[in-house]
A and B are shown apart, each in its own frame.
Chain A
Amino acid sequence: AQSVTQLDSHVSVSEGTPVLLRCNYSSSYSPSLFWYVQHPNKGLQLLLKYTSAATLVKGINGFEAEFKKSETSFHLTKPSAHMSDAAEYFCVVSDPPRSGGGADGLTFGKGTHLIIQP
């Protein structure tokens, strides 16, 4: 079974300062991990993904995340926040597919609401 814990329901930072959104996961296998962003009244957009290659993953809009297996963490960071970054962020885990193929749903964290102060 897989699960995701987003440690903060709300994070508030000033524009131009670093952003850190924390995520811990639990999986019986070597999972795939994602961060999605959801702006108000919009669908979810993929920010970045970790599959099996480099542990430091770069995404869109200057975001990056580091996979740390020993800590079972996949924290999302950005060096300098922008007002347009205000949104809901979801950490997501996906176990490897079952043998024989087939599609699998994702397991979402509860989300972190990022607030950017001017």
Chain B
Amino acid sequence: ETGVTQTPRHLVMGMTNKKSLKCEQHLGHNAMYWYKQSAKKPLELMFVYNFKEQTENNSVPSRFSPECPNSSHLFLHLHTLQPEDSALYLCASSRRLAGGDRTYNEQFFGPGTRLTVL
């Protein structure tokens, strides 16, 4: 049990649909992330939220719209997606910790949402 849950676990949608992915962390963390995992490609960071503020957007198309209402919940709103957006979408959370003279960024991942766009 990682303490990070994602719903739904599987989603099939048409290109004209609107849907949302949900992530919830029960670890008391202050940062949350969305990653995209496509076949034969490295995990790609999409968005970073720190204390509910978006601090990074890795040139993600506007058809993906994140929302972070509080530090425990993160959403990814989807609309007019393309078939190439089919992938596993992973949510993660972290808490900045001090480790000696450096901080490190240990992230805890949810099980992912397997998205298929038809």
Q: Answer yes or no: do A and B interact.
A: yes
Interface residues of A (CB under 8 A from B): 30, 32, 34, 36, 41-46, 49, 51-53, 90, 94, 96-97, 101-111
Q: Is B12 an interface residue (CB 8 A)?
A: no
* Docked complex: B65-102 residues within 8 A CB-CB of A: 90, 92, 94, 96, 99-102
Q: How many A-B residue pairs have CB under 8 A?
A: 78
Q: Is B30 an interface residue (CB 8 A)?
A: yes
Q: Is the interface of A mostly helix, strand, loop or mixed?
A: loop
Of the listed residues B43, B56, B102, the one surrounded by the most CB atoms of chain A closer than 10 A to its CB is B43
Q: Are A104 and B2 in contact (CB under 8 A)?
A: no
On chain B, the number of residues with a Cβ less than 8 Å from chain A's Cβ atoms is 35
Q: Are A102 and B2 in contact (CB under 8 A)?
A: no
Q: Are A103 and B111 in contact (CB under 8 A)?
A: no
Interface residues of B (CB under 8 A from A): 2, 4, 30-31, 33, 35, 40-43, 45, 48-50, 55-56, 58, 90, 92, 94, 96, 99-112
Nearest 3 pairs between A and B by C-beta? A103-B31, A105-B45, A51-B99
Closest Cβ–Cβ distance, residue A42 to chain B (whole Å): 6
Query: A43-B90, A105-B33 given as contacts; is B107 within 8 A of A30 (CB)?
Result: no
Q: List 14 A-B contacts (CB under 8 A).
A: A36-B109, A43-B2, A43-B90, A43-B110, A44-B92, A46-B108, A97-B96, A103-B33, A104-B56, A105-B48, A106-B43, A106-B45, A106-B105, A109-B42
**Which residues of the other chain, A, contact B30 by a CB distance below 8 angstroms?**
103
Please measure, in the bound complex, the distance between the C-alpha atom of A117 and the C-alpha atom of B36, giving whole angstroms.
30
Q: Are A43 and B103 in contact (CB under 8 A)?
A: no
Q: Are B102 and A32 in contact (CB under 8 A)?
A: yes
